[in-house]
Amino acid sequence: MFRLKSLLLILAIGSGAMAAERPNIVFLFSDDQTIGAMGCYGNKEIITPNLDQLARDGVRFLNHYNTTSICMASRACVMTGLYEYRHGCNFGHGDLERRIFEASYTARLRKAGYFTGFVGKIGFEIQDEDFDVFDQEFDVFAGGPSQTSYNTAKNKRYARYAEQYPHASRACGAWGQDFIKTAKASGKPFCMSVSFKAPHMPFTPDPIDLKLYESVKIFKRPANFGVDNAAHLSPQSQTGRQAKIYRDWVNNYDETVRKYYALITGVDAAVGMIREGLEREGVAENTVIIFTSDNGYNSGSHGFGGKVLPYEEGSKSPLIIYDPRQPETQAGLVSEAVTANVDMAATIFALSGVAAPEELDGKDLLPLLSNPSARVRDALPLFNFWGPASCQSMAIVTPEWKYIHWYSEDKGMKTTDELFHLAKDRIEMKNVAGNPENADVLAKMQKAYDVELAAISSSFVPNHNYDAFGKVFGRSLLWDAKKDLVKAYSGRVQKDSSGKKPKKDK
């Protein structure tokens, strides 16, 4: 009897302790960082000691894709766990509806008792509401509208750090340290989002970091660098701003990449400050850290600059997850599973124990922390619903293959299928779609494509200008039947992404 009572007591204490020890979550988010721009991803020129350490402590993901590879949409994908056509938020498509924001992990965790904080570039707004409404949506909010500024003094909600940290990246680190203190004092578990502006354009790094790269005169080019390495790609891929502007990535590579790397080194310094803060407050052992970025970046690969395109450099970002509660044997492991921006919300819901909304598009990645060789999906869709219609596309990626369908036949172009054998050709130099020995693979990828296409038609969010995509991305409808549909929406989606508030859909 005594033993039973003791057992029950132990069980009761155990479950109470578990409830009290919901982990803290720190979500660190850079802006426009491609997967290769970090030491732990094999880049020997960039200086990222703190991020490399985070990778040694946690699990590093090699195939992390942004399902829409542009700021506004991807940030909404991260927070909601939904594909863009289901959350409806992108340039030319509209702001995030209140009901969808309410289902985001930040909103739900707060309702469930988490102490929440946000600093930096949030990148979207809630439809028909002022930006300042975010002050009520977090326990501590230090975000800014549109692109925010590298000049700390110009970001009103954390301008107080300007004297000590005039550049925004380290200022965000200092804000993070203070938030950790405040959150600890609240007695609640916390969820902190640090959304760096870096390394987004304009490339104005902290002089402290730029100095570290002064002695390097010539930087290593990507293996598929320059326009000569684009001759085999679809003509459609050449019709966007990635091929027409951002020419410094091709013509002035060394000076451009020097600043880009220095901006990431500034983020790295802030990550170090935040980890120090967690240690100092004694909360590091119960704090899960996630580091990723909102889209990749074409740093001269195939002659492209910018993002958006479904090729590897533009769509893939680093992802590191460090859960200190995992056994030490898991430290430094690497996962080749295909993961996505939409997985962040599902993972954070799982970590926190807070119920996720039904039918998230994203997957919980926690099983990969204990078993990095596992998979969470067979295939992932990548979308571009923005910019010139001729450069829009949908793609399917698996650990081994990528299939891209370019539908536009504008200006004499022909519909183009691209198939890359990623396992053998990671830099996408051979389109093997026409190769008879790949016919079975192509058919399988097209089947997966058609499944994702049907999902657009059946579940797009109404009134956000996605109505036509289930048809125009289709593989069988002829261009003549698509032309008018394209014309109807394309005027509305050709907005720039300068951060100006997009006009409402007419």
Residues near Ca ion, by CB under 5 A: 31-32, 71, 294-295
**442-451: long-range pairs with CB below 8 Å, 24+:** 442/403, 442/417, 445/379, 445/396, 445/398, 445/401, 445/403, 445/419, 446/403, 446/405, 446/417, 446/475, 448/378, 448/379, 448/396, 448/398, 448/403, 449/381, 449/394, 449/396, 449/403, 449/405, 449/475, 450/475
Nearest to Ca ion of 184, 241 (CB atom)? 241
Work out how close the CB of 33 gets to Ca ion at its nearest, in angstroms, rounded to a whole number: 8
Query: Among the residues of 234-338, which ranges form H helices?
Result: 241-244, 248-251, 253-280, 312-315
Nearest to Ca ion of 274, 308 (CB atom)? 308
Write the CA distances from 464 to 168, 294, 469, 471, integer angstroms.
33, 21, 11, 16
Token digits of residue 455: 């999902």
Work out how close the CB of 96 gets to Ca ion at its nearest, in angstroms, rounded to a whole number: 16
Work out how close the CB of 304 gets to Ca ion at its nearest, in angstroms, rounded to a whole number: 15
Q: Which residue is nearest to Ca ion (CB)?
A: 71
**Residue whose token pair is 């790295």:** 268
Work out how close the CB of 71 gets to Ca ion at its nearest, in angstroms, rounded to a whole number: 4
Work out how close the CB of 200 gets to Ca ion at its nearest, in angstroms, rounded to a whole number: 6
CA angle in degrees (0–180, nearest 5) for 58-63-69 = 110
Nearest to Ca ion of 23, 306 (CB atom)? 306
Nearest to Ca ion of 256, 295 (CB atom)? 295
Provide CB contacts within 8 A for 68, sequence distance 6+: 74, 77, 83, 84, 90, 295, 341, 382, 383, 384, 385, 386
Return d(Cα 105, Cα 80) in angstroms, integer. Answer: 7
Nearest to Ca ion of 95, 323 (CB atom)? 95
Work out how close the CB of 196 gets to Ca ion at its nearest, in angstroms, rounded to a whole number: 10
Work out how close the CB of 78 gets to Ca ion at its nearest, in angstroms, rounded to a whole number: 11
Greatest CA separation found in the chain? 85
Work out how close the CB of 32 gets to Ca ion at its nearest, in angstroms, rounded to a whole number: 4
Nearest to Ca ion of 204, 457 (CB atom)? 204
CB of 492 within 8 A of CB of 465?
yes
Write the CA distances from 86 to 18, 298, 447, integer angstroms.
35, 26, 21
Cα 330 from chain centroid (whole Å) = 24
Nearest to Ca ion of 308, 461 (CB atom)? 308
Nearest to Ca ion of 71, 283 (CB atom)? 71
